[in-house]
Amino acid sequence: MRKGVMRPGHIQIRVLDVEEALKHYRDLIGLIEVERDAQGRVYLKGWTEVDKFSVVLREADEPGMDFVGYKVLDNQTLEKLHGELIEHGCNVEEIPAGELNGCGRRIRFDSPTGHMFEIYAEKERTGKWGVENVNPEAWPRGLKGMKATRFDHCLLYGPNIKGTLDLFRDVLGFELAEQVLDPEGTRIAQFLTVGMKAHDVAFIEHPEPGKFHHASFILDTWEDVLRAADLISMEDVSLDIGPTRHGLTHGKTIYFFDPSGNRSEVFCDGDYHYPDHEPVTWQAEQLGKAIFYHDRVLNDRFLTVLT
């Protein structure tokens, strides 16, 4: 948190049908539906999140990700980073407070990989869902489906991940936690963190800009990953792969698709990071094991199905 960026705070995902999407994000993944806005967007959150929302579903003709937003410490930080983003050469746009219900002013910028990001300092604080802040119980009753606890990160595909690392590291204070290097030493995948988690955002080098690989949500335990897998089967949801473990980050994971074709991940555990940690490196020759630690081979789908 060298530059005052705290965490991934929200992601806006395009879906072909909002009601179908709610069956996925709310009923299956278990996010809490918070409210809808005048545009028809639906706001959701994981139950452990203290802010009002972390996922926004927008109905559109094409699936994919509109933007992901990071919360910063305060407005002073926001102003300072605003200037630095412009100076860095990003296309920067100001989004007024209230454009997302309950969210303060956002500074939107693009990355060399062709994705849209935002930073913001203020969001309505509604507290954890279903538990009090005084004498809080261990967990709330009434959670649905996979009972995901919070939005964790997204994985994005696009060109020039090197330039994107410069942006996230130098301007926003992210650190390179894990990477995949090809035999020439070129970085083809990078996992960046701004806190102690193994990743707050990840990028894979890819010719087409602005592609969305998946949004990821945290579960409590490996047993929850099994139950997630069971639910995927019971609901006849399209499975990508899992239950399995990643080599990168060592998280325990499962991937599956929403009705619009966007990939979702739910996972638990994995490595931790401190600023003095050397990046963990996987060699591209071991990419299969890096991605799917048990199978040790990639399925084509994982590399090519993007939204």
Question: What is the C-alpha to C-alpha distance for residues 182 and 166, in angstroms, rounded to an integer?
Answer: 19
Asked if 305 touches a second copy (CB under 8 A), the answer is: no
Among the listed residues 16, 239, 298, 303, the single contact to a second copy using CB under 8 A: 239
Among the listed residues 10, 252, 258, 265, the single contact to a second copy using CB under 8 A: 252
Work out how close the CB of 289 gets to a second copy at its nearest, in angstroms, rounded to a whole number.
7
Asked if 124 touches a second copy (CB under 8 A), the answer is: no
Burial letters for 254-268: b for 16+ Cβ neighbours within 10 Å, e otherwise? bbbbbbbebbbbbbb
Longest Cα–Cα distance of the chain, Å, equals 55
Which range of residues in 15-23, 127-135, 152-160, 199-207 is near a second copy by CB under 8 A?
A: 127-135
**Catalytic annotation present for 199:** yes
CA atoms within 13 A on the CB side of 73: 13
Q: Pick from 66, 37, 31: which is nearest to 49 by CA?
A: 31
**Catalytic annotation present for 265:** yes
Q: Which amino acid is located at 264 in the chain?
A: S
CA atoms within 13 A on the CB side of 207: 1
Question: What is the C-alpha to C-alpha distance for residues 72 and 149, in angstroms, rounded to an integer?
Answer: 21
Among the listed residues 30, 102, 210, 242, the single contact to a second copy using CB under 8 A: 242
Asked if 222 touches a second copy (CB under 8 A), the answer is: yes
Beta bridge partners of 179: 190, 281
Asked if 129 touches a second copy (CB under 8 A), the answer is: no
Among the listed residues 281, 298, 302, 305, the single contact to a second copy using CB under 8 A: 281
Asked if 126 touches a second copy (CB under 8 A), the answer is: no
Question: What is the C-alpha to C-alpha distance for residues 81 and 281, in angstroms, rounded to an integer?
Answer: 29
- Please, which of residues 143-182 interact with a second copy by CB under 8 A? none
Q: Are 148 and 136 a contacting pair, CB within 8 Å?
A: no
Catalytic sites, residue numbers:
153, 199, 214, 246, 255, 265
Residues forming contacts to a second copy in the complex (CB under 8 A) are: 1, 6-7, 48, 50, 71, 73, 125, 127, 133-139, 141, 195-197, 220-223, 226, 229-230, 232-234, 239, 242-245, 247, 250, 252, 269, 271-272, 274-278, 280-283, 286, 289-290, 293-296
